[in-house]
Amino acid sequence: MRRIETSIESVKTDIGHFYRADQHHFSVMNAVDLGEKIEVQWFFCDYAQPYETIAFCAQITPDVEIPSIRDIVSSAWVAEAELVDLADIKIEGTPKGFVLETDSEIGPLRKKK
Amino acid sequence: MAKQYEIPVGAQHISLLEPLHFKFTTENEKIVGTTANLFYVHRGIEKACCSKFKFRQVSFVVGRVCGLCSISHATAYSQVAEKLIKIEIPRRAKYLRMLVIELDRIHSHLLCLSHVAENSGFEALFMRTMQYREPFMELLEAVCGNRIQYDFSIVGGVARDLKSAVSRMILERLKRFKPQLDELVDIYQNNWSLSLKNKGAGAITKEDAMRLNVVGPFARAAGLEIDVRNETEDLLPWKETGFKIVTETAGDAYARNLLRLREINVSMHIIENIINGLPESALITETKAFPDGEAVARLEAPRGELFYYAKGNKTQILERLKIKAPTFSNIPAMVEGFRENEYGSVPAIIASYDPCLSCTAR
């Protein structure tokens, strides 16, 4: 797994420069609760050699809204909707309620304070 | 413009095996729009794996994510955990993992094919396909001790060895199955009315498969060469077993049927090669190390790329475990694949997608 460190301001530009639909496969998004911050990860794999797994990683504070990458990777809406519900983070244009009911526990994957 | 109607299908419906809900917008019989709700069974497994269970117990927990591809989940998790504790598993354990994964793929593909037949209105073919699947369930029980939820792959290796009597039983049943597979190929390929129902149904192009990041047989039936067995030689030596990627081009339900039948043939070839060349070694690598750092593991489950991410913190409890099931990746294409199809084709199309919501919602 190759990590590419990025920031919330430049992640969309970085992924836009990197991603080619005929070369890269978007796997999933992930969020890791680091305490004060959350690390958001976007995973891609190659269709051909070297078959590397590439992770764009950006650390955010929970109140920040993340830009959506749907206009670059059209299938990313499912991964974004999942993270909004399970990690209780804000993603541009993504409402809650796709994975969990709106009255469910908020952000079950976040650590309890 | 024709009058539009909204038709809900699911969460409980005669043609659905899983709790999923589609809302189709139709003009006369033609589908012009689809929305989906696929998360009725969220069980909080990722959370449980990072709070309730020690990392060595997690392979048993994730084996319960899905009844059909239990071995894929347990193996993918074991691989990612082995990366975190930095161990190499014994060679025999690698081959035994591949053996059970391929037996599992055969029974899963036959189950999918049987449901496509059933949802296309062919009860007799459904029964015939399920009849041919049953010996593989018995083989899995003989190898692993369970028909489903095998608890076979564990962190460090595998839990059971393969007895020589079971090896003989597998080879004998594969030999018996070969003409049965030919019979199924003939029916799924050449039966006029089944072809009529499946040809063109739920079709996506290779370009759509790429654009929507489709995985597994769904992608390969559209001509997209994506198969994790082609990529991860460091974890399991697939190419040594005679693995060859299979693709079709039409991208419809008919092509998905043929692709799965051809993949069963490849799986049989892999299983025979594994049994005939099974190396001698221990079954497990013992270590007292704790997981540290982060890692990913990818594995080709029957429905496509299964993705595991794990992060350790030098304790018994993982910091984070992320599971991405193949159906999760295929949701956008599943929604788009219905467009311009007849509403009457919906049951067969859904079955040909082979969705697993137990994995997806986990």
Alpha carbons B194 and B321: distance in angstroms, whole number: 43
pLDDT score, position B143: 94
pLDDT score, position B354: 85
Helices (H) and strands (E) in chain B, counts: 13, 8
Alpha carbons B153 and B65: distance in angstroms, whole number: 14
Residue B328 to residue A1, Cβ atoms within 8 A: no
User: Residue type for B170, please?
Assistant: I
Nearest partner of A25 among A39, A41, A6, A46, judged by Cα = A46
pLDDT tens for residues B41-57?
A: 788 899 999 999 999 99
Lowest-pLDDT range of B181-190, B294-303, B330-339:
B330-339
Residue B233 has pLDDT above 90, yes or no: no
Q: How many residues does chain A have?
A: 113
pLDDT confidence band for A113 (50 / 70 / 90): low
Alpha carbons A63 and B113: distance in angstroms, whole number: 47
Instruction: Return the beta strands (E) in chain B as ranges.
Output: 4-9, 21-27, 30-37, 153-154, 157-158, 292-301, 304-313, 320-324
Residue A99 to residue B328, Cβ atoms within 8 A: no
Domains and CATH numbers, chain B: 42-334 (1.10.645.10)
pLDDT score, position B65: 87
Residue at A22 is within a domain: yes
pLDDT tens for residues B117-156?
A: 998 989 999 999 999 999 999 999 999 998 888 889 999 9
- φ, ψ of residue B61 to 5 degrees: the values are -70, -50
Q: Which domain holds residue A82?
A: 2-91
Question: What ipTM goes with this model?
Answer: 0.94
Alpha carbons B216 and A21: distance in angstroms, whole number: 17
- φ, ψ of residue B76 to 5 degrees: the values are -60, -40
Residue B275 has pLDDT above 80, yes or no: yes
B328 shares contact with chain A (CB less than 8 Å) = yes
Residue at A8 is within a domain: yes
Rounded to a whole number of angstroms, the distance from the CA of B320 to the nearest CA of chain A is 7
Share of chain B above pLDDT 70, in %: 99
pLDDT score, position B66: 86
Residue at A109 is within a domain: no
pLDDT score, position B157: 94
Contacts of A88 in chain B (CB under 8 A): none
Residue B1 has pLDDT above 80, yes or no: no
A75 shares contact with chain B (CB less than 8 Å) = yes
Bridge partners (DSSP) listed for residue B310: B295, B321
Residue B88 has pLDDT above 80, yes or no: yes
List the CATH number of the domain containing A19: 3.30.460.80
Q: What are the start-end ranges of the H helices in B120-246? A: 123-144, 164-190, 192-198, 206-211, 216-220
Residue at A84 is within a domain: yes
- Contacts with B, A 81-110, CB within 8 Å: 82, 86, 98-100, 108-109
Alpha carbons A43 and B70: distance in angstroms, whole number: 24
pLDDT score, position B361: 77
Tell me the count of A-B CB pairs closer than 8 A.
Answer: 77
* Chain B interface test: which of A45, A46, A104 (most B C-beta within 10 Å): A45
pLDDT tens for residues A54-108?
A: 999 999 998 899 999 999 999 999 999 999 989 989 999 998 888 888 787 788 8
Residue A51 to residue B211, Cβ atoms within 8 A: no
B145 shares contact with chain A (CB less than 8 Å) = no
pLDDT confidence band for B287 (50 / 70 / 90): confident
Residue B30 has pLDDT above 70, yes or no: yes
Domain count within chain A: 1
Residue at A96 is within a domain: no
Rounded to a whole number of angstroms, the distance from the CA of B93 to the nearest CA of chain A is 24
| Stated pTM of the model | 0.94
